[in-house]
């Protein structure tokens, strides 16, 4: 079999010669036969057939036929460019949207880390301290490597200017666990991590190596500065490895023991053994199941830390630390459903167009069937035509998808620095998806029309008569397709309506602070090696100079900013309040300078603001928000009362209004504000409220920072409304895209309706003529077709409405301020579709009403 | 057009066997094969082009015969077919199968 296949393959290139030889051989045969007195024409039978059959022996018949069909179909498509253009364009939109969204599904839900056997990786639902990680890595037997991990941007410099890059703090078995090889030099091992306090060393990513050192192997052994500290470069990771997070890229891997360089803000804290900050990850030994490993790990965990009685839970780590799964997983699946529906509408629309096209070719099919073509052959030919369209649409769609992808990514990455950017590159799986999708759509929209068009009893035969039997069944099919289109469109329009209203509602929520015209500038003197005391002086200096700038209304330092990444929670004890459980006795802490509330526009309800007297040496004081007062003091005036935190007393000096600091969707939380002098000294953000355009003030602010220390990196400078906007990115993408897709679906449904009506009117032109001739008014004729349209639209809407209400339930968690079965939104959706249908109906109706009876009666 | 290619219909699948057997003594061109079959079978088996040449192409593809161009006795270029080693094996195999079948058919016809 295989041999035969290869011989055929080789013969493919000598087709013409084989043909010629066969002809010659047969000619010889004929001549010899004639010489011997035989009757060649009688004895030899059908020579052409014999030649064709002989030839068929060495061809791949199916392929040959398909190519032949493809050529035929191409000619046919070229003859009707308008149809082809519409078909390919609508398919490109459908397939493109699906491919684009699928590449997000792929990147967020399907992709795995590019390391050997990622399925053996597990994560722990825990955050551990370094000591626990070390002991665990040494003693656990179920794993081939186990490490702790933490990521934070660090300032990177080779001696001159500094830039922010993504740093990963890792323990000794990190690279061993991932089974990564070095591109040059060697990678961090356990000795390096242990010795790193005296001998700091780091590993660069392949990308950073290419970008900053142009791939120079001499980088090994060189010194680089990370947050101002000198590190020796041990080596570079192999190309393609990009760290422990699926959609991010690491730039530099540092020993976990150097955490003090990365988190200088908490200089006094025992990072190594007291605080838990590392996310653990491990690789299962071959043959060990996750359940077995979990059991072993549990026992070991209790031995290492007998105080901890929590249950360990091992989770699939093949995606690494996938932060986007929870944030974008649901929206992306919702969008996938929407685009799938759009593609269905597209298919219904194309099937409709193809049916109309088949009608025009009914004659051709009848002739071919009657002279012996098989029905299967005709169906195959029509399917090949559909496949060609789908391939064209697929190619255009993939290109469209690439564009949609980069646009969406740019959208999602606004407000994120380059080192935090999300990466979603289409891969082989995405390509395979779009190819499969194209083929599936071809069958979906092509099979029904092909089946219908070649059905012998439906063909008008060779007669010219247009009132043949196929008419009713064909029209019913086209009408059903239109009904389906309208129903599906209603589902999409309703979903889009809900998501748009969510976006609108979110935009009108009172945040409790005014984010516009507030600049947030994040600068960390400690990141350039300044001591804790220097940091305080530098920040105070920056703050004072910023306040003095023209156009600045107020300025403040703060540890936490609205929608920022910093969040400090602490357990508190309020006398007179009985906590139900540990969780309910906590609050968010923020450390601020005196003008914070003035800068953000939060108002004081009771007591006083902080001032210069609240410093390191004065009694600890706090301002709390309304939520806190409701929770801990049942709404009574708390000013002057005290609560306990970390063993010390804090007196409440004032109460401020609530603010939604954790995103629009999340309500205010119990918050305690304390003077920054009484808490944190570094990791602070400078907040500046301006009178006019904030962009005009930013250069002056940067100038101040530069003048103090030019090598001090500015982590980010932006306005707070950008943060608020960025917090709504998901909702905005969902709202915009679903609206776009809803418009597309509605347009397609409109085209479908238009097509059916126009066709119906064309078929009945003579009837219209007769009606006019016997005295019908334009109104009557128009009414005839308006009724047809109305019935289709009504049936579509009646079917679509319950489907829309049921399927919208899947969106429930994504909605805000609007129910999943919101009747008002449904009403609006129905009206939108009805208007679109009206538009699609009016054009053919207008034509019907203007049929000239004299011409119409001579029709056909 | 609808004419049968040979006066006696061959049992299906036997044409390959007959061609292979005909080629066993030595190389032969297409017309020669047809003539030889006709002679040996006392004109009972007449094979037309429409079955002969597809069959020859099939045998070529399977590697049971090979072909080369030569000059015929009437000074025309003709394609000569030769049995390959694989063809010899195939002939033996088909022959045995055929004998078994004939014997079986015979037993059925002769049964009491």
Lowest-confidence region among A41-55, A268-282, A310-324: A41-55
Task: Report the pLDDT value the prediction gives residue A268, as an integer from 0 to 100.
Answer: 47
The number of residues making up chain B comes to 112
Contact A26 B63 (CB under 8 A): no
- The number of angstroms, rounded, from the C-alpha of A456 to the middle of its chain's C-alpha atoms is 48
Contact A32 B48 (CB under 8 A): no
Report yes or no on B1 lying in a domain. no
Q: Judge whether residue A241 has pLDDT over 60.
A: yes
Lowest-confidence region among A215-219, A396-400, A844-848: A844-848
User: Residue A454 phi/psi, 5° resolution?
Assistant: -105, 5
Lowest-confidence region among A638-652, A758-772, A787-801: A758-772
Give contacts of A7 with chain B, Cβ < 8 Å. 61, 63
Give contacts of B29 with chain A, Cβ < 8 Å. 25, 28
Q: Judge whether residue B6 has pLDDT over 50.
A: no
Q: Which chain B residues in 57-76 lie under 8 Å from chain A, judged by CB atoms?
A: 57-58, 60-63, 69, 72, 74, 76
Q: Judge whether residue A492 has pLDDT over 90.
A: yes
Q: State chain B's mean pLDDT as an integer.
A: 82
Beta-carbon contacts of A104 under 8 Å, excluding residues fewer than 6 positions away, are A328, A332, A335, A405, A408, A424
Between β-strands A252-255 and A163-170, what pairing exists: parallel, antiparallel or unpaired?
parallel
Minimal-distance CA residue of chain B relative to A6? B61
Q: What is the C-alpha to C-alpha distance for residues B103 and A59, in angstroms, rounded to an integer?
A: 37
- A321-337 mean pLDDT: 84
Lowest-confidence region among A114-128, A462-476, A690-704, A743-757: A462-476
Minimal-distance CA residue of chain A relative to B58? A57
| B102–chain A nearest CA distance, Å | 28
Task: Report the pLDDT value the prediction gives residue A170, as an integer from 0 to 100.
Answer: 94
Lowest-confidence region among A202-206, A379-383, A464-468, A747-751: A464-468
Minimal-distance CA residue of chain A relative to B59? A57
CB A69 within 8 A of CB A300: no
Q: Judge whether residue A14 has pLDDT over 80.
A: no
Q: Does B49 touch chain A (CB under 8 A)?
A: yes
| A369–chain B nearest CA distance, Å | 21
Query: What is the tally of structural domains in chain B?
Result: 1
Burial of B108 from C-beta contacts in 10 A (0-12 / 13-18 / 19+): exposed
Give contacts of B48 with chain A, Cβ < 8 Å. 43-45, 50
Q: What is the C-alpha to C-alpha distance for residues A648 and A301, in angstroms, rounded to an integer?
A: 32
Contact B46 A43 (CB under 8 A): yes
- Please tell me which of the candidates B50, B61, B77 has its beta carbon nearest to residue A45: B50
Give contacts of A58 with chain B, Cβ < 8 Å. 57, 60-61
At A201, is the pLDDT very low, low, confident or very high (cuts 50, 70, 90)? very high
CB A484 within 8 A of CB A348: yes
Contact B62 A33 (CB under 8 A): no
Task: Report the pLDDT value the prediction gives residue A416, as an integer from 0 to 100.
Answer: 62
The most confident of the ranges A369-373, A552-556, B57-61 is A552-556
Contact B29 A28 (CB under 8 A): yes
- A209-228 mean pLDDT: 91
**DSSP string across A727-740:** HTHHHHHHHHHHHH
Dihedral over Cα of B18, B22, B27, B29: its sign: negative
Between β-strands A685-690 and A642-645, what pairing exists: parallel, antiparallel or unpaired?
unpaired
Minimal-distance CA residue of chain B relative to A36? B35
Give contacts of A42 with chain B, Cβ < 8 Å. 3
Where helices occur in A36-80 by DSSP H, the ranges are 40-44, 47-57, 61-79
Minimal-distance CA residue of chain A relative to B54? A54
Report yes or no on B78 lying in a domain. yes
- Please tell me which of the candidates A8, A21, A33 has its beta carbon nearest to residue B61: A8
Q: Does B107 touch chain A (CB under 8 A)?
A: no
Compute the count of residue pairs across chains A and B with CB atoms less than 8 Å apart: 82
Between β-strands A568-573 and A182-185, what pairing exists: parallel, antiparallel or unpaired?
unpaired
Dihedral over Cα of A78, A80, A81, A84: its sign: negative
Q: How many helices (H) and strands (E) does chain A have?
A: 27, 21
Q: What is the C-alpha to C-alpha distance for residues A504 and A731, in angstroms, rounded to an integer?
A: 10
Q: What's the Cα-to-Cα distance from A385 to each of A71, A540, A588, rounded to whole Å?
A: 9, 73, 64
| A29–chain B nearest CA distance, Å | 5
Q: Does A3 touch chain B (CB under 8 A)?
A: yes
User: Residue A606 phi/psi, 5° resolution?
Assistant: -145, 165
| A457–chain B nearest CA distance, Å | 29
Report yes or no on B82 lying in a domain. yes
Give contacts of A9 with chain B, Cβ < 8 Å. none
At A497, is the pLDDT very low, low, confident or very high (cuts 50, 70, 90)? very high
Contact A26 B49 (CB under 8 A): yes
Minimal-distance CA residue of chain A relative to B81? A25
Q: Judge whether residue A795 has pLDDT over 60.
A: yes
Report yes or no on B18 lying in a domain. yes
Contact A54 B54 (CB under 8 A): yes
CA torsion A220-A224-A229-A230 (nearest 10°) is 40
Q: Which chain A residues in 9-38 lie under 8 Å from chain B, judged by CB atoms?
A: 21-22, 24-26, 28-29, 31-33, 35-36
Q: Judge whether residue A809 has pLDDT over 50.
A: yes
**Neighbour-count burial for A9-48, b at 16+ CB within 10 Å, e otherwise:** eebeeeeeebeeebeebbebbbbbbeeeebeeeebbbbbe
Contact B1 A46 (CB under 8 A): yes
Give contacts of B56 with chain A, Cβ < 8 Å. 54
Q: What is the pLDDT of residues A709-732, one digit of tens each?
A: 777 767 677 888 887 877 787 888
At A690, is the pLDDT very low, low, confident or very high (cuts 50, 70, 90)? very high
DSSP state letter for A775: T
Report yes or no on B71 lying in a domain. yes
Task: Report the pLDDT value the prediction gives residue A527, as an integer from 0 to 100.
Answer: 66
Q: What is the C-alpha to C-alpha distance for residues A178 and A365, in angstroms, rounded to an integer?
A: 62
Q: What is the C-alpha to C-alpha distance for residues A98 and A346, in angstroms, rounded to an integer?
A: 12
Contact A7 B63 (CB under 8 A): yes
CB A257 within 8 A of CB A272: yes
Task: Report the pLDDT value the prediction gives residue A164, as an integer from 0 to 100.
Answer: 81
| A57–chain B nearest CA distance, Å | 6
Q: State chain A's mean pLDDT as an integer.
A: 84
Q: Does B50 touch chain A (CB under 8 A)?
A: yes
Q: Judge whether residue B7 has pLDDT over 50.
A: no
Beta-carbon contacts of A478 under 8 Å, excluding residues fewer than 6 positions away, are A352, A355, A356, A755, A756, A759
Pick the residue of B1, B8, B31, B37 with the most A CBs within 10 A to test the interface with A by mutation.
B31
Q: Judge whether residue A774 has pLDDT over 80.
A: yes
Q: What is the C-alpha to C-alpha distance for residues B38 and A126, in angstroms, rounded to an integer?
A: 90
| A370–chain B nearest CA distance, Å | 19
- Please tell me which of the candidates A25, A43, A46 has its beta carbon nearest to residue B79: A25
Give contacts of A48 with chain B, Cβ < 8 Å. none
Contact A32 B72 (CB under 8 A): yes
At B5, is the pLDDT very low, low, confident or very high (cuts 50, 70, 90)? very low
Task: Report the pLDDT value the prediction gives residue B4, as an integer from 0 to 100.
Answer: 40
Report yes or no on B9 lying in a domain. no
Contact B54 A53 (CB under 8 A): yes
Q: Does A58 touch chain B (CB under 8 A)?
A: yes
Q: Judge whether residue A41 has pLDDT over 60.
A: no
Contact B53 A3 (CB under 8 A): no
Neighbours of A67 (CB within 10 A): 12
- Total-model pTM: 0.73
* ipTM score of complex: 0.78
Contact B53 A50 (CB under 8 A): yes
Minimal-distance CA residue of chain A relative to B70? A25
| A374–chain B nearest CA distance, Å | 20
At A707, is the pLDDT very low, low, confident or very high (cuts 50, 70, 90)? confident
Contact B56 A26 (CB under 8 A): no
Give contacts of B57 with chain A, Cβ < 8 Å. 22, 54-55, 57-58
Question: What residue numbers bound the domain in which B64 lies?
Answer: 14-110
Q: Judge whether residue A859 has pLDDT over 70.
A: no
Report the percent of chain A where pLDDT is more than 70. Answer: 89
Report yes or no on B84 lying in a domain. yes
- A486-508 mean pLDDT: 93
- A794-811 mean pLDDT: 93
Minimal-distance CA residue of chain B relative to A19? B57
Q: Does A45 touch chain B (CB under 8 A)?
A: yes
- A551-575 mean pLDDT: 83
Task: Report the pLDDT value the prediction gives residue A309, as an integer from 0 to 100.
Answer: 60
Contact A46 B46 (CB under 8 A): no
Task: Report the pLDDT value the prediction gives residue A681, as an integer from 0 to 100.
Answer: 55
Q: What is the pLDDT of residues B29-82, one digit of tens each?
A: 888 888 888 888 888 887 777 788 888 888 888 889 988 888 877 777 888 999
Q: What's the Cα-to-Cα distance from B89 to each of A29, B21, B24, B33, rounded to whole Å?
A: 28, 11, 11, 20
What's the CATH code of the domain at B66?
1.10.10.10
Q: What is the CA radius of gyration of chain B?
A: 15
Lowest-confidence region among A100-114, A153-167, A403-417: A403-417
Contact A32 B50 (CB under 8 A): no
- A773-799 mean pLDDT: 88
Contact B53 A22 (CB under 8 A): yes
Q: Does A43 touch chain B (CB under 8 A)?
A: yes
Report yes or no on B45 lying in a domain. yes
């Amino acid at each position: 079999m295989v041999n035969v296949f290869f011989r055929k393959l080789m013969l493919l290139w000598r087709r013409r010669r084989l043909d010629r030889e066969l002809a010659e051989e047969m000619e010889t045969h004929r001549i010899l036969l004639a010489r011997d007195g035989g009757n060649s024409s009688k004895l030899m039978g059908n020579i052409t057939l014999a030649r064709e059959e002989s030839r068929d022996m060495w061809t791949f018949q199916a392929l040959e036929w398909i190519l032949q069909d493809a050529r035929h179909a191409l000619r046919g498509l070229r003859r009707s460019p308008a149809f082809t253009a519409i078909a390919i364009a609508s398919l490109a939109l459908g397939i493109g949207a699906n491919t684009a969204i699928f590449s997000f599904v792929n990147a967020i839900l399907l992709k795995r880390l590019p390391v050997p056997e990622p399925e053996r990786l597990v994560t722990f639902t825990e955050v551990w301290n370094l000591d626990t990680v070390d002991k665990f890595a040494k003693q656990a037997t179920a794993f081939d490597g186990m490490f702790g991990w933490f990521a934070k941007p660090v300032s990177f410099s080779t001696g001159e200017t500094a830039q922010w890059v993504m740093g990963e703090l890792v323990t000794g078995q990190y690279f061993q666990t991932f089974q990564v090889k070095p591109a040059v030099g060697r990678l961090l091992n356990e000795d390096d991590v242990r010795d790193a306090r005296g001998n700091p060393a780091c590993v660069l990513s392949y990308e950073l190596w290419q970008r900053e050192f142009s791939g120079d192997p001499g980088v090994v052994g060189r010194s680089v500065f990370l947050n101002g500290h000198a590190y020796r470069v041990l080596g570079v990771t192999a190309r393609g490895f990009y760290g422990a997070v699926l959609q991010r890229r690491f730039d530099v891997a540092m020993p976990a023991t150097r955490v003090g360089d990365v988190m200088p803000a908490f200089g006094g804290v025992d990072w190594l053994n007291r605080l838990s900050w590392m996310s653990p990850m491990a690789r299962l030994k071959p043959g060990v199941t996750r359940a077995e490993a979990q059991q072993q790990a549990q026992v070991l965990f209790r031995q290492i830390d007998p105080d901890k009685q929590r249950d360990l839970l091992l989770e699939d780590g093949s995606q690494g630390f996938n932060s986007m799964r929870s944030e974008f997983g649901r929206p992306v699946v919702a969008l996938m459903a929407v685009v799938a529906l759009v593609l269905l509408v597209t298919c219904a629309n194309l099937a409709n167009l193809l049916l109309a096209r088949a009608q025009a070719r009914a004659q051709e099919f009848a002739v071919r069937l009657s002279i012996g073509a098989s029905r299967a052959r005709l169906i195959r030919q029509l399917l090949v035509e559909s496949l060609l369209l789908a391939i064209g649409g697929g190619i255009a769609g993939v290109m469209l998808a690439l564009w949609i992808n980069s646009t969406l990514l740019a959208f999602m990455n606004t407000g994120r620095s380059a080192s935090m950017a999300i990466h979603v590159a289409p891969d082989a799986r995405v390509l395979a998806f779009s190819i499969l999708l194209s083929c599936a759509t071809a069958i979906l929209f092509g099979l029904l029309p092909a089946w219908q068009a070649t059905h012998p009893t439906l063909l008008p035969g060779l007669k010219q008569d247009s009132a043949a039997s196929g008419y009713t069944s064909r029209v019913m099919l086209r009408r059903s397709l239109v009904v389906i289109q309208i129903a599906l469109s209603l589902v999409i329009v309703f979903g889009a309506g809900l998501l748009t209203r969510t976006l609108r509602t979110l935009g009108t929520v009172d945040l409790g602070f005014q984010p516009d015209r507030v600049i947030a500038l994040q600068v960390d003197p400690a990141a350039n090696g300044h001591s804790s005391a220097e940091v305080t002086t530098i920040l105070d200096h920056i703050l004072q100079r910023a306040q003095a700038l023209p156009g600045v209304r107020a300025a403040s330092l703060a540890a936490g900013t609205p929608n920022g990444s910093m969040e400090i929670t602490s357990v508190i004890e309020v006398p007179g309040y009985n906590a139900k459980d540990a969780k309910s006795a906590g609050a968010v802490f923020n450390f601020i300078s005196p003008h914070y509330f003035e800068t953000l526009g939060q108002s004081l309800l009771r007591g006083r603001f902080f001032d210069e007297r609240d410093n390191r040496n004065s009694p600890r004081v706090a301002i709390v928000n309304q939520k806190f007062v409701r929770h801990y003091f049942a709404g009574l005036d708390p000013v002057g009362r005290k609560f306990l935190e970390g063993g010390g007393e804090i007196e409440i000096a004032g109460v401020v209004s609530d603010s939604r600091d954790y995103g629009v969707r999340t309500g205010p939380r119990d918050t305690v504000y304390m003077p920054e002098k009484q808490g944190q000294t570094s990791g602070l953000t400078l907040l500046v409220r301006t009178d006019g355009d904030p962009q005009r003030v930013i250069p002056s602010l940067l100038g101040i920072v530069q003048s103090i220390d030019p090598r001090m990196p500015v982590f980010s400078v932006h306005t707070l409304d950008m943060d608020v906007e960025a917090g709504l990115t998901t909702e905005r993408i969902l709202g915009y895209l679903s609206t776009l897709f809803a418009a597309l679906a509605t347009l397609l449904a409109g085209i479908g309706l238009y097509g059916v009506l126009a066709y119906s009117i064309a078929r009945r032109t003579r009837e219209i003529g007769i009606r006019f001739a016997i005295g019908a008014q334009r109104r009557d004729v128009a009414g005839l077709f308006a009724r047809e349209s109305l019935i289709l639209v009504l049936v579509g809407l009646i079917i679509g409405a319950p489907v829309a209400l049921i399927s919208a339930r899947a969106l429930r968690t994504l909605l805000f301020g609007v129910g999943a079965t919101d009747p008002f939104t449904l009403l609006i959706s129905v009206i939108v579709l009805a208007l679109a249908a009206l538009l699609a109906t009016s054009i053919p109706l207008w034509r019907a009403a203007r049929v000239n009876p004299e011409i119409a009666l001579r029709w056909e | 057009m609808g004419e049968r290619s040979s006066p006696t219909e061959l049992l299906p699948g036997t044409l390959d066997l007959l061609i292979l057997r005909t080629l066993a003594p030595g190389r032969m061109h297409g017309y020669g094969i047809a003539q030889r079959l006709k002679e040996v079978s006392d004109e009972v088996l007449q094979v037309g082009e429409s079955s002969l040449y597809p069959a020859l192409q099939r045998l070529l593809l399977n590697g049971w015969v090979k072909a080369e161009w030569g000059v015929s006795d009437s000074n025309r270029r003709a394609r000569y077919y030769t049995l390959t080693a694989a063809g010899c094996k195939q002939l033996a195999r088909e022959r045995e199968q055929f004998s078994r079948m004939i014997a079986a058919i015979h037993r059925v016809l002769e049964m009491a």
